[in-house]
Amino acid sequence: MRTPDGKECKYFYGNYYRGQSHEECRLVEGTSEEEEWNATLCSTCPVPAILRANACPTMELHAEIKPRFLVFGKEMKISAFCTKSKQIVKEPEIGCGQCHPLPSIFFDSDED
């Protein structure tokens, strides 16, 4: 579903049927962060970009709402974990490197 910011995100849900205005982020659903979430956080949320770059089914995303540094307001901090390799993913846009290895054509072969 499209966020109010116009980006596609599978975790955003908006119910606008018959004048309703219910919006939620299913990434923070069921956590203590759910109370703090509002739709304005979607404008700076990195999740839509992560999902466009990496659609790995074994990567789990976790969200936290943190205050911005030196600026009023809050932002979403995203962490990722790979259930296949059982490790924290440092760059969610790229992945853990074990689930989808690069083909050998991308590496130099120094056969002297």
Q: What is the pLDDT of residues 53-108, one digit of tens each?
A: 998 999 999 999 988 877 788 889 999 999 999 999 999 998 888 887 777 787 77
* Measured distance CA(17)–CA(39) in Å, rounded: 17
Is-above-0.85 flag for pTM?
no
Contact status, residue 19 vs residue 62, Cβ threshold 8 Å: no
Contact status, residue 65 vs residue 36, Cβ threshold 8 Å: yes
The owner of tokens 């030196």 is: 70
Which residues have a Cβ under 8 Å from the Cβ of 81 and sit 6 or more positions away?
59, 60, 62, 87, 88, 89
